Amino acid sequence: MPMRCPVCDGALVETLVRDLGGVTSDLVWQLHAGRCPEHGWFQTEVISRPPREIFPVNKPFGAARRMIVDGVEVFSFSTAWNDLPAAEQRRRVDPFEARYWQTRR
């Protein structure tokens, strides 16, 4: 599981992956969730590409929650995947490569 805590970059515990399957066999479609002991639960969705955002949630695969980070309200954390040029995003990549999952903080 490449997801780390988007606040402290710490390893997540109690990690879960829910495989949602797909209409074609080569489509990867998964929900990933994990808990930072300090910052709570986070989750994201992988649909054959690295995720664009990681969301704070109230429980695994649960509803979004609002977080205050450094005095600022945060609803989601953008990943490094967003920062790649469009041409590179169109390439076929390993959606689980950890560097794409890095958040910007």
Q: Can residue 10 be called a binding residue for Zn ion (CB under 5 A)?
A: yes
DSSP 3-state assignment of 64?
A: strand
Query: Which of 3, 7, 46, 57 contacts Zn ion by CB under 5 A?
Result: 7
Number of residues assigned to the chain: 105
Does the CA dihedral 43-6-59-33 come out positive or negative?
Answer: positive
Structure tokens at 26: 């080569």
8 vs 27, beta carbon nearer Zn ion = 8
Structure tokens at 35: 């808990």
Q: Can residue 98 be called a binding residue for Zn ion (CB under 5 A)?
A: no
Amino acid letter at 3? M
Residue 38: CB minimum distance to Zn ion, A: 5
Q: Can residue 5 be called a binding residue for Zn ion (CB under 5 A)?
A: yes
Q: Looking only at residues 23 through 62 of this chain, which bind Zn ion when binding is defined by CB under 5 A? A: 36, 38-39
Whole-angstrom distance, CA of residue 100 vs CA of residue 103 = 8
- Choose the stretch contacting Zn ion; rule: CB under 5 A; options: 2-10, 24-32, 44-52, 92-100: 2-10
Whole-angstrom distance, CA of residue 87 vs CA of residue 7 = 29
36 vs 54, beta carbon nearer Zn ion = 36
Chain contacts with Zn ion (rule: CB under 5 A): 5, 7-8, 10, 36, 38-39
